[in-house]
Amino acid sequence: MIYLILYKILGYRYAVVLQNLSRSFPERSYEEVNRLAGGFYRHFSGIFLEMALMLLAPARLVKKRVRVKNPELLRHYHAQQRNIMIMLGHYGNWECLNVLPAHVDFDMHAVYKPLSNRFFDRVMRRLRARFGLKLLPMDKAARHMLAAKHQPGAYIFVADQCPGKEAHTVDFLQQPTPVITGAERLAKITDAVVLYATVSKTAAPASWEISFQLITDSPGSLPPFAITERFSRFLEEDIRRQPQYWLWTHRRWKNRS
């Protein structure tokens, strides 16, 4: 029903979705792009129900539906007394990472941008903190990480948002794309291990698998923007593999003519 309302009746941001898909996959026909759009709206509609499930369902049920494939990678670097930075995009159901504190025995923070609507902001904060995830407003993240750099923990950054003034441009989905670089700068300042997180759909309904890949464990040795560019390549590979799971309603290239 949500799918029918968003896609068939309201056409929610349909022009944005179609333009984003067409520019990202110029080799695909109009019919193929339309099929991708339909697949995206089905996924996007399901996210609303999954978020309600993660907020209201018994904790054991939520944990059962979200599998963490290799949490030992987190434990390995924490045992070395290293800060860990987890970078991911708006791909799959990124809110699933709220279960991660149930799989480790150290502090895990999520950097987020508070919503302008107070009611929905409270709902999202409750959802994200349900299993012990500590929330850090974006404008306070740098100060907190610098103050706590000798108390190793993990920090989650959704890093495919539109940047502000400070940005670096990468070739992403066949388009020049400005990207935020704050996560990279903090990783270098705090000597944090940087991981990429993928949230992949499983065969079971409303179920996901979180897996991690190493971007770097020596950020200071890399040239400028190498971390940002590696993150962008990992995310692009995920999107090309299953395009319907990225957030195509996002006006990611809004400043492009």
pLDDT for residue 72 is more than 90: yes
Q: What is the 3-state secondary structure (H, E, C) of 27-89?
A: CCCHHHHHHHHHHHHHHHHHHHHHHHHHHHCCHHHHHHHEEECCCHHHHHHHHCCCCEEEEEC
Burial group, residue 60, by CB count within 10 angstroms (0-12, 13-18, 19+)? exposed
Residue found under tokens 């054991």: 60
> Alpha-carbon distance 7 to 3, whole Å?
6
Instruction: Give the model's pLDDT for residue 101.
Output: 94
In which band, very low, low, confident or very high, does the pLDDT at 165 lie, cut at 50, 70 and 90?
low
Q: What is the pTM of this model?
A: 0.93
* pLDDT tens-digit map of 15-53: 999 999 999 999 999 999 999 999 999 999 999 889 998
Strands (E), the chain: 66-68, 84-88, 108-112, 134-137, 154-158, 168-172, 175-179, 193-201, 208-216
Widest pairwise Cα distance in the chain:
54
Coil, helix or strand at residue 224: coil
* pLDDT tens-digit map of 88-146: 999 999 999 999 999 999 999 999 888 889 898 999 999 999 999 999 998 888 889 88
Q: Which residues contact 247 (CB under 8 A, 6 or more apart)?
A: 44, 89, 90, 91
Cβ(227)–Cβ(216) below 8 Å: yes
Structure tokens at 88: 């991911």
Cα angle: 241, vertex 243, 248; to 5 degrees: 150
pLDDT for residue 256 is more than 70: no
Cβ(54)–Cβ(127) below 8 Å: yes
